[in-house]
Structure 1
């Protein structure tokens, strides 16, 4: 049971980081389907830099840098050029998948198995182990899980008790009203995309340098979309996102455990478990109250009062 929880928390980490980061973009009114691109880019470049430099901290910085660059691309197309957010999201995800696959195959001899890179150490020290009930489980996690939990608290405070959080929500609910009050809609959405892309990239890095220590084509396997589903399931609230990330992570751990046990059932049946649970969760939760202007570009002076 303990090993199942350890695996479930590790698999929840990338979804938690990506979903919490994307919450800032969604609440500012940007439908960021490109979170999948952020995750695969972060997963690959953190692995690439960690492998060739031998530095896991360098890998983390590479993930942040990749997320920053992708955020600027998102901002240009989604905020400045006001492209269709769904079409752009699908396109950037395909581009990121092809780009990482191409660079990976050019840089590594993939025919000889997976090349291991340095990985983040486990948080196995006395202060963590002494935590009641959860100490032994948390000691087997990396710092990225703790970063996700700290970021969760920060996000709750930002959206509940700060003027910055109020501005983000105002831009998502009614950008025209926010604009008349002097709030820069463009800058607010730039900031939301920046946070979304960086934490999405860190979520991807948690798969490579955090957990598996290798990379393979398409290894995010739709986790960016699951992160978006976690936001909807969590009703655009940080604590709801945490619950959703844990549910999806534990379901992923469950399907892995079922494959190991070796039932006389095609393993593909177990592989679909996380995605099936995602669909069922959205069905059970029902309609979610997204920000009113989520997915809609802002054009100053277009709407009056």
Structure 2
């Protein structure tokens, strides 16, 4: 009689040998390089150009706060040296993080950026009799960012749906035109806020019509629409508006609406809470769009249409219908942002007054990686860098005016090179969808 053979217990398979660091994220050297360049520029340009013993005075009050913050004079050369040390230390830390295959935290980007800006302001204001008005600097930066934020939010909605919205420039300009004309005719700036999104929505509808119904190249359609709106508004400005300026093109500014208590907080209050209704609508749009895009059924379907329209169609989502309505919505948002140029700023309409802001808003959207919060941060960066040049010109800084004009674009290049890295648009962006 044979003895039954008991099978040996199965031995666990040896664990796969993983190369050290194979599963860790790939981290590039862009961030420490940019940190190091910021420290190097400060060391080579700002330190030698700042006379010893000079002071720079920062002003943090506007006269409307709970209490007045006195002006703060600082020793210019010592302050710049300390800020240079902070940036150099951040660069060293970033190198150590890269060697550990770890990304630099977001707050470190903020620290380096603030240190560099403060070093530049200290250098520009050293020995000047004028103070650096920080409240005016920040409030002006926010104001200049308003049309960029609205335009960037428009781009986020459209391109998340798969439609490339190059027509933001035309939507801003047509919104500014409609706001000025309707506000002048009715006699109140609030009427312009109603007309502006309608005008922008019309441009968005034209973009959707050609892009979805006729499957025309979306970039070409956007450029053509921009040219069309520039020509149309220029013609009407030179004829109808010029013939009866009092009726169709008078200044109808929106009143400021300070929020009780909040507007009296030092520094923050005058900047954020003493604004027009258009700025408050911008606040609501930012948080609302971020929530809707990533926490709602509408946002899920919008992102599905922009990433994989075939899969979205399979589960019953009407791809082209959603693209059309989202493009019209995006155009309306950009048109509302265009109202800032006229009723939002208290100005009459002028020929081509959007001045390329739509293209900068498009760049802000890309810089923000098609995310509302990121796009807002990029738009604020553009607005701050532009207003920085204005403030320095006002105080009589020795920095050449050409450098000040280049400032927004130079800062943007450094931001893209160091803080953003590679960006990926929605997979189906610009690709027409035909149901098979």
Question: Which of the numbers 279, 293, 305 marks the counterpart of 2:428?
Answer: 293
- Asked whether the equivalents of residues 209 and 324 of structure 2 are also in contact (C-alpha less than 8 Å), the reply is no
Q: Offset at 1:268?
A: 5.0
Q: Offset at 1:245?
A: 1.3
SS in 1 for 2:330: helix
Deviations 1:227-277 (A, max 9, x none): 111111111111111211111111121122233334577745433433443
- Asked whether the equivalents of residues 305 and 319 of structure 2 are also in contact (C-alpha less than 8 Å), the reply is yes
Change (3 A) 1:49 1:123: same
| Matches for 1:65-104 after TM superposition, within 5 Å | 65-104=198-237
Structure 1 position 189 matched with structure 2 position 331: no
- Asked whether the equivalents of residues 22 and 195 of structure 1 are also in contact (C-alpha less than 8 Å), the reply is no
> Following the alignment from structure 1 to structure 2, what is the Cα–Cα distance between the partners of residues 275 and 237?
21
Question: Which of the numbers 359, 369, 374 marks the counterpart of 1:225?
Answer: 359
Structure 1 position 254 matched with structure 2 position 395: no
Structure 1 position 23 matched with structure 2 position 156: yes
Q: Offset at 1:132?
A: 6.6
| Matches for 1:95-134 after TM superposition, within 5 Å | 95-109=228-242, 116-130=250-264, 133-134=267-268
> Following the alignment from structure 1 to structure 2, what is the Cα–Cα distance between the partners of residues 267 and 47?
32
Structure 1 position 150 matched with structure 2 position 278: no
Change (3 A) 1:37 1:178: same
Q: Offset at 1:191?
A: 2.1
Over the aligned positions, Cα root-mean-square deviation in angstroms equals 2.1
Q: Which moved more, 1:141-150 or 1:126-135?
A: 126-135
Alignment match, 2:138: 5
Q: Offset at 1:183?
A: 0.5
Q: Offset at 1:140?
A: 3.5
Change (3 A) 1:187 1:101: same
Alignment match, 2:88: none
TM-score scaled by length of structure 2? 0.64
SS in 2 for 1:126: coil
Question: Which of the numbers 47, 54, 74 marks the counterpart of 2:180?
Answer: 47
> Following the alignment from structure 2 to structure 1, what is the Cα–Cα distance between the partners of residues 409 and 236?
28
Name the structure with the higher helix share. Answer: 1
Higher relative contact order (CA 8 A, sep 6+): 1
Aligned residues: 298
> Following the alignment from structure 1 to structure 2, what is the Cα–Cα distance between the partners of residues 271 and 45?
30
Change (3 A) 1:54 1:2: same
Which ranges in structure 1 are unaligned for 5 or more consecutive residues? none
TM-score scaled by length of structure 1? 0.91
Structure 1 position 140 matched with structure 2 position 283: no
> Following the alignment from structure 1 to structure 2, what is the Cα–Cα distance between the partners of residues 3 and 250?
11
> Following the alignment from structure 2 to structure 1, what is the Cα–Cα distance between the partners of residues 259 and 169?
33
> Following the alignment from structure 1 to structure 2, what is the Cα–Cα distance between the partners of residues 142 and 188?
32
The structure that has the greater radius of gyration is: 2
SS in 1 for 2:352: coil
- Asked whether the equivalents of residues 22 and 192 of structure 1 are also in contact (C-alpha less than 8 Å), the reply is no
- Asked whether the equivalents of residues 18 and 202 of structure 1 are also in contact (C-alpha less than 8 Å), the reply is no
Q: Offset at 1:13?
A: 1.1
Change (3 A) 1:196 1:276: farther
Which ranges in structure 2 are unaligned for 5 or more consecutive residues? 1-133
Q: Which moved more, 1:274-283 or 1:65-74?
A: 274-283
Structure 1 position 56 matched with structure 2 position 201: no
